[in-house]
Amino acid sequence: MRPFGYQRAASTRAAVEAVGAGDGAVFLGGGTNLVDLMRLGVATPHTLVDVTRIAPATIEETAGGGLLVGGGVRNGELAAHPLVRRRYPVLSQAVLAGASGQIRNMATVGGNLLQRTRCSYFQDVTKPCNKRQPGSGCPAREGDHRNLAIIGHSESCVATQPSDMAVALAALGATVHVEGPGGPRAVPMPGLHRLPGDQPQRDTVLGPGDLITAVELPPLPLAARSRYRKVRDRASFSFAVVSVAAALEVAGGVVRDCRIALGAVAHVPWRAETAEAALRGAEATEAEFTRAAELELAGARPLPGNAYKVPLARNLLVRVLTDLAEAP
């Protein structure tokens, strides 16, 4: 591991300035992903600026009935919070579907959103990877891509975004509050993450020194009937193969409104806007759910080794929506 400096930020402003200077300093939250990447030589920061003492770590109700979740809130606390569980079960379920109890107790909300891809090539510094080393190439297209993207990928990158929590936040349309060198600003989800295009080294729209201070959950009554379902190779402690976050409001057998996002299919948590539009006003039946899922996945361009993800995502989407429609 390359030698590095460590400092505790005294204030948000000081942290933003320290990292915004662009001389190789990065924010340190729970460190559950960053420290691993440092050990692997994938991340080689000059200085870690620890923000865990200054990042807001509270969950507060907002005026309209939403929640403001501090960027320093630990994942475990978020999942366990009574208001989160009652108003946004999809979010609590998504967080609990990830990692292990120990990791969730360390990981922060801000850090969770900035997890880097688990693509094997990205994690191995002896191999090319456009995300790690722009221009070096992407061996995954010809090599192992069983669990990589089927939608929105580019010639230069087929990585997926690994956070479960981000999928729920994308479905809920959360707002990410950022403090940056230019002052505070708000980034709407799913707009935080970006498709790889020809700049796969950029996972998000954030720039140097941009610190996630909070995530705001909008008032969303239909989210009380929401669900996260994660398909994975083993029963626990593994990243999603495909996941679905969905909220559904049905009245008189008709879909009044819905929010849907897919995980582990793209470089971003994939908000299924096509499916949502197809469902609003449609009958809440398995046939309609299937039609909407197929419309959403019509744009999928799977690689030879991950074509199974298309029927898997379709089946999962139909099942989650059907279960939500049938739930008492």
Please, which residue, 6 or 237, has the CB nearer to other proteins?
237
Please, which residue, 137 or 181, has the CB nearer to other proteins?
137
Q: Which two tokens stand for residue 245?
A: 């976050």
What is the distance of C-alpha 99 from the center of its chain? 13
Cβ count near 100 (within 10 Å):
11
CB of 163 to other proteins, least distance (A): 14
- 51-55-59-60 Cα dihedral, nearest 10 degrees: 180
Please, which residue, 5 or 311, has the CB nearer to other proteins?
311
Q: Which of 289, 290, 313, 317 is nearest to 302 (CA)?
A: 313
d(CA 124, CA 76): 29
CB of 126 to other proteins, least distance (A): 5
CB of 301 to other proteins, least distance (A): 17
Please, which residue, 139 or 181, has the CB nearer to other proteins?
139
Contact positions vs other proteins (CB under 8 A): 1-3, 40-41, 118, 120-121, 123-124, 126-127, 139, 142-144, 146, 231-239, 241, 308, 311-312, 315-316, 318-319
- Write down the residue that tokens 């008709």 correspond to: 254
d(CA 229, CA 243): 6
Q: Which of 154, 46, 165 is nearest to 98 (CA)?
A: 165
CB of 123 to other proteins, least distance (A): 8
CB of 2 to other proteins, least distance (A): 6
CB of 19 to other proteins, least distance (A): 23
Please, which residue, 280 or 291, has the CB nearer to other proteins?
291
Rounded (5°) CA angle 229-234-240: 45
Please, which residue, 155 or 233, has the CB nearer to other proteins?
233
Q: Please answer whether residues 245 and 168 qualify as being in contact, where contact means their C-beta atoms are separated by less than 8 angstroms.
A: yes
